[in-house]
Amino acid sequence: MKIPDLDAIDHRILEILQREGRLSNQELADRVALSPAPCLRRVRALEKAGVIRQYAALLEPRKVGLGMTALITVKLEKRGNMPGEEFAKAVRGWPEVVGCYSMTGDTDYLLWTFVEDLDHYTRFLTGRLLKLAYVVDVKSNIVLAAVKNTTALPLNHLGLETRRRKT
């Protein structure tokens, strides 16, 4: 995978936007010591290159009635053609699932889910996931507390020196 040519200013722009995506271009430009036009050109170039994939508002699950988080490991039937695409299609239609990852090791998939409560989770598990004939094993892991939960990717591997300014 080719990493786009990023300099220290691009690195700083990405760090700031990951934490504060609603900054105005003027505020961002001030924080990275650029004038607004060059800053906007850099942001647009990062968007066009696919480095910046999208912008989103991050909601607090409990504040919108989703009081339970579960991580679910799923094993699928291995005989014949593994129904991976069929499973993926089903998962894409389930609003409770916010992340689905194909895995190596003892499990085929990891689902990251948000539900209202245990009753909602039971309905999801028995009414959707376990109804799929090719699902042969499911293990549920209920989250007790989020020790760390961030959407910001680490960028230190890029080896770009940035002057830290107060943010």
Q: What is the pLDDT of residues 116-148, one digit of tens each?
A: 999 999 999 999 999 999 999 999 999 999 999
Q: What is the pLDDT of residues 63-117, one digit of tens each?
A: 999 999 999 999 999 876 778 899 999 999 999 999 999 999 999 999 999 999 9
According to the model, what pLDDT value does residue 161 have?
Answer: 58
Which has the minimum average pLDDT: 6-10, 25-29, 64-68, 155-159? 155-159
What does the domain layout of the chain look like in residue ranges? 8-56, 61-142
The pTM of this model reads: 0.83
Q: What is the pLDDT of residues 22-78, one digit of tens each?
A: 999 999 999 999 999 999 999 999 999 999 999 999 999 999 999 999 999 999 998
How far is Cα of residue 74 from the mean position of the Cα atoms in its chain? Answer: 19
One-character DSSP codes across the chain: -PPP---HHHHHHHHHHHH-TT--HHHHHHHTT--HHHHHHHHHHHHHTTSS----PPP-GGGGT--EEEEEEEEE--SSS--HHHHHHHHHT-TTEEEEEE-SSS-SEEEEEEESSHHHHHHHHHHTGGGSTTEEEEEEEE-S--S----PPP-GGG---------
- Common-topology check for domains 8-56 and 61-142: no
| Domain 8-56 grouped into CATH 1.10.10.10 | yes
Q: How is domain 61-142 classified at the architecture level of CATH? A: 2-Layer Sandwich (3.30)
